[in-house]
C-alpha cells in the first residue's frame, strides 16, 4: 500500500500516459499512440497550450502546425539513458515524429518514425528502432546480452516518451496556465 501511495504522490504523470510502444510486424517499426479525453477546454486552447509545450520542450525540434485541421506535427529528439551495467550508462540519440490531432474535449498523440542514431566505426547510421532491436552485433555482443540490451533500449525510449506525453497532458490541463495572448 505504501508503494502505491509513493507512486501516486511522486509520479502523477505516469497515471495519465499509459501507452506503450507497439511493433508493426510488417514494417518492423515501433509506434506509440495515446488518446486523452474529458478535457474541459475549447479546441483552440488545447491547440495553443500544446504548441507552446512543443516549442518550450526542445530547441532542436521542427514544428509544423495546421490550425485549420487542428493538428501539430513535430520532429522530436529524444535521448533516453540506457544503463548497460552498474557503472556504465549512455544516452541513445533517437529521433521521432509526433502528430497531435485535436478534437473538441480530446486529443490524440501518435508517435512514429522512431529512429536510433548509431556510430559504429565512426560512421553515423540511422535505423528504425525495430531494425535496431533486431540487429545482430557479431564480435561485439551476442545472445542473451544483446537481447537484454535491446530490451533496455526499448524500455528507456518508452519511458521517456511516456514522461514527455505526461508532461504535455499536465501542461494542457494545468489550471495555472495563462491563455493570455498579449
C-alpha cell read off for 102: 485535436
- Residues 180, 116: contact at Cβ < 8 Å? no
The pLDDT tens digits for 86-96 are 777 778 888 89
CA atoms in the 13 A half-sphere facing the CB of 120: 11
| pTM score of the predicted model | 0.77
Q: DSSP assignment, residue 141?
A: B
The interaxial angle of helices 143-173 and 43-57, nearest 10 deg, is 130
Q: DSSP assignment, residue 181?
A: -
The pLDDT tens digits for 21-49 are 898 888 889 999 999 988 888 888 888 88
Structural domains in the chain plus CATH codes: 19-173 (3.30.530.80)
Q: Say which residue the cell 520542450 belongs to.
A: 57
Amino acid at each position: 500500500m505504501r508503494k502505491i501511495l509513493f507512486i501516486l504522490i511522486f509520479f502523477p504523470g505516469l497515471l495519465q500516459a499509459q501507452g506503450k510502444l507497439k511493433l508493426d510486424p510488417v514494417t518492423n517499426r515501433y509506434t506509440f499512440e495515446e488518446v486523452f479525453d474529458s478535457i474541459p477546454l475549447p479546441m483552440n486552447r488545447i491547440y495553443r497550450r500544446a504548441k507552446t509545450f512543443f516549442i518550450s520542450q526542445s530547441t532542436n525540434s521542427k514544428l509544423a502546425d495546421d490550425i485549420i485541421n487542428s493538428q501539430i506535427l513535430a520532429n522530436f529528439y529524444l535521448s533516453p539513458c540506457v544503463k548497460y551495467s552498474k557503472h556504465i550508462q549512455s544516452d541513445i540519440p533517437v529521433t521521432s515524429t509526433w502528430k497531435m490531432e485535436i478534437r473538441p474535449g480530446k486529443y490524440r498523440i501518435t508517435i512514429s518514425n522512431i529512429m536510433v542514431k548509431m556510430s559504429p566505426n565512426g560512421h553515423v547510421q540511422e535505423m528504425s528502432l525495430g531494425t535496431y532491436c533486431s540487429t545482430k552485433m557479431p564480435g561485439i555482443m551476442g545472445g542473451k546480452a544483446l537481447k537484454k540490451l535491446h530490451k533496455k533500449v526499448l524500455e528507456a525510449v518508452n519511458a521517456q516518451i511516456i514522461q514527455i506525453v505526461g508532461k504535455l497532458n499536465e501542461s494542457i490541463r494545468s489550471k495555472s496556465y495563462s491563455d493570455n495572448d498579449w
